[in-house]
Amino acid sequence: MAATEKNVSRVLIIGGGFAGLECARTLAGDSRFSVTLVDRTNHHLFQPLLYQVATASLAAPDIARSIRQILEDAENVTVLMDEITAIDPVKKTAEGKSGHHFEYDYLLLAVGARTSYFGKTEWAENTLALKSLADAQAVRRTVLSNLERAELTDDEAERKRLMTVAIVGGGPTGVELSGAFADLVHRSLRSNFRRIDTSKLRVVLIEGSARVLEAFDEDQSEYTRQRLKEIGVEVWTGMRVDDVKKGVLHFTDGTVLESEAIIWAAGVEAQPLTAMLGVPLADRGGRITPQADLSLPCMPDIFVAGDIVRMKDADDKPVPGLAPAASQMGRHIAKILKREKDRPGGQRDPFYYLDKGFMAIIGKNHAVVKAGKLKMRGILAWFAWLFIHIAFLIGFRNRLSVLLGWAFAYIRDNPEARIIVNPPGTKVQ
């Protein structure tokens, strides 16, 4: 970080997701701030479309963009790829895994969420997650490789295991993923194999509670279940996972499901960095409840934003872990910092969440949307989903490339990213 000039505040942003990026963008060009954004990866990821990389519809660069590239015109912003391993809120410093030492006047912690196994960390080894690009490519690689192995084998039991995709978690990720997989194997890949019938591949969506998409209304959940069933997804609700062994799911009612592709989308928790701030955590998921302005109690120079925040909105409903909430928080914090430069000592505004609603796509051309009192479903909801996701994709080439990819895949039922780059088990140099 550059040496502190007079009246220039050093802002350290940890995390280049929606919250961190939006904060940096709002501070960009304001020479009263010297901003450093640190992320473990070199790219901002458009997480809402991650499942499409997993299901071979999109290529990784379609939904990810170099953070430096996004911020290249922001001369007061320095982007560094590093992993923060320690924060000292008293000395106002942080340490990077690379050995780099960071100093700040203001800190924004926006490190996001990771997959939660509810304490059963050993389950991670026997399942695939869906939080990063590498995760998505691993899901794609596993499902496509399993089909290749199924085409080769003469062992019926093995073939059955290879031709079962189990998705644990009936939230939007699970619903979107299972719908896309059903479309892929039952429609697109049908004429690709000679020895197996891909329309027989089982896609099983598993949810512990009584219905999928719990954040939506009951009739929308029911609609979603119907639609998923129509396109060939088995929806198992009220089924609780008891244990996960290699290739086998055990349920509390004694049911056993064998599958060589178990995808875990059942829950998230905050990245563990939240435990370093010395404030009590708000839940077992490691999240933090900040003050109304998003700063920490007794630490007005430290802010939190995005998926690590647990707070309620004006209607006393929890602010969801969604991209719009994270962006709004990042922007709010940047505005507080700017305001304090304009009028030092003034009162800070509280954060108000503007609810943009929820949406989930179900297979090829259906979706459900819930935004306040507005409820939509079917093809109209699908168009709304399409429009909103394209509009918020960062970067022009990405947007056009994604749109084209979708258009072709839609017309020809033929997603083009069906390649296995690294065979399972290879080591990346």
Residue 3 found at the interface with its own copies (CB under 8 A): no
Closer residue to its own copies in complex, CB, 22/62: 62
Residue 396 found at the interface with its own copies (CB under 8 A): yes
Residue 399 found at the interface with its own copies (CB under 8 A): no
Report the nearest approach of its own copies to the CB of residue 148 (Å): 4
Residue 149 found at the interface with its own copies (CB under 8 A): yes
Report the nearest approach of its own copies to the CB of residue 95 (Å): 12
Contact 352, 311 (CB under 8 A): no
Closer residue to its own copies in complex, CB, 191/347: 191
Helices (H), 41-188: 50-54, 67-70, 133-152, 156-162, 172-183
| CA 296/CA 107 separation, integer angstroms | 11
| CA 20/CA 25 separation, integer angstroms | 9
Residue 148 found at the interface with its own copies (CB under 8 A): yes
- Site size with its own copies, rule: CB under 8 A: 70
Contact 39, 13 (CB under 8 A): no
Q: What is the DSSP letter of 10?
A: E
Helices (H), 55-153: 67-70, 133-152
Residue 365 found at the interface with its own copies (CB under 8 A): no
Q: How far is CA 93 from the centre of its chain?
A: 28
70 burial level (CB within 10 Å; 0-12, 13-18, 19+): buried
Q: Check 176, 207, 260, 269 and give the catalytic one.
A: 176
Contact 128, 135 (CB under 8 A): yes
Residue 410 found at the interface with its own copies (CB under 8 A): no
Convert residues 74-113 into a mask of x (bound to its own copies by CB under 8 A) and - (unbound).
Answer: -x-xxxxxx-------------x-x-x-------------
| CA 98/CA 344 separation, integer angstroms | 36
Report the nearest approach of its own copies to the CB of residue 194 (Å): 4
Residue 299 found at the interface with its own copies (CB under 8 A): no
Residues 6+ apart with CB under 8 A from 214: 170, 171, 221
Residue 72 found at the interface with its own copies (CB under 8 A): yes
Give the count of beta carbons closer than 10 Å to the beta carbon of residue 126. 15
> Which segments of 187-283 are extended strands (E)?
202-207, 233-237, 241-245, 248-251, 256-258, 261-264, 268-270
Residue 427 found at the interface with its own copies (CB under 8 A): yes
Position among 248, 277, 386, 420 found at the interface with its own copies (CB under 8 A): 420
Instruction: Say whether 176 is catalytic.
Output: yes
Q: Using CB under 8 A, which of the segments 110-118, 179-187, 334-342, 402-410 binds its own copies?
A: 402-410
DSSP bridge partners of 103: 93
Closer residue to its own copies in complex, CB, 140/332: 140
Q: Which of residues 301-340 bind its own copies (CB under 8 A)?
A: none
Q: Nearest 5°: phi and psi at 397?
A: -60, -45
Residue 17 found at the interface with its own copies (CB under 8 A): no
Position among 13, 54, 113, 128 found at the interface with its own copies (CB under 8 A): 128
DSSP bridge partners of 12: 36, 107
Convert residues 150-189 into a mask of x (bound to its own copies by CB under 8 A) and - (unbound).
Answer: -xxx-----------------------------------x
| CA 179/CA 185 separation, integer angstroms | 10
Position among 292, 298, 379, 404 found at the interface with its own copies (CB under 8 A): 404
User: Which residues sit at the interface with its own copies, rule CB under 8 A?
Assistant: 40-43, 59-62, 64-66, 68-69, 72-73, 75, 77-82, 96, 98, 100, 128, 133-134, 137-138, 141-142, 144-145, 148-149, 151-153, 189, 191-195, 395-398, 400-401, 404-405, 408-409, 414, 416-429
Catalytic residue set: 176
